[in-house]
Amino acid sequence: MKVAVYPGTFDPVTLGHIDLIKRAKDITEKLYVAVARSSAKKTLFSIEERLDMLRHAVGGAKDIVIDSFEGLTVNYCISVNACAIIRGLRAVTDFEYEFQMALTNRKLDGRVETIFLMPSEQYTYLSSSMIKEIARLNGDISKFVPKALAEMIKARCLNAN
């Protein structure tokens, strides 16, 4: 079975993330959407909230597992028998970092490949950071995140000011 992992912080989940999840699922038999438990990154939403957002956005989809992990992504991949890491490339600015990460992961464990997916054109500019900034400034984020989550995300961003 071809298993892949799409790791990220998903703080918050965006329509760009969902686009990549759907596209990654089309090329894998099982996809783990794995929320990183990183102490180095300050997140607006707790790990449980981010998992719940993802479950709400893609929960119930066949052969998609929403999970969390700590530590190296390649180690998590091996633990779930994944042969690939899915990474999104929105623009040239993403490439250098992602390329370095892919080569480092290959050195750490050559059994895990990195697959780069480009989002649909309508999401190439989208980032969680941008969503949080728009929400902090009381802008409409409903075109960028799942509609059912927009108000909750906006409220959290406004209260974080």
Give the helix/strand (H/E) hosting 101.
Answer: helix 92-108
Q: Which backbone phi and psi does 41 adopt, to 5 degrees?
A: -105, 125
**Annotation marks residue 17 as catalytic:** yes
Q: Residues with Cβ < 8 Å from 140, sequence gap 6 or more?
A: 134
Handedness of CA 74, 82, 79, 15 (dihedral sign): positive
Q: Is the previous residue joined to 12 through a cis bond, with omega within 30 degrees of 0? A: yes
Kindly report the number of other CB atoms within 10 A of residue 96's CB atom.
Answer: 9
Q: Is 41 annotated as catalytic? A: yes
Sheet strand arrangement including 30-36:
64-69, 30-36, 3-8, 84-88, 113-117
Q: Which two tokens stand for residue 18?
A: 């969902």
- Give yes or no: 46 in active site: no
**Active-site residue, selected from the candidate residues 39, 41, 107, 129:** 41
Return d(Cα 4, Cα 46) in angstroms, integer: 24
- Out of 17, 50, 132, 154, the active site residue is 17
Catalytic residue among 23, 30, 56, 90: 90
Bridge partners, residue 30, by sequence: 3
Instruction: Please pick, among 25, 50, 128, 154, the residue that the annotation labels catalytic.
Output: 128
Give me the active site residues, please: 17, 41, 90, 128
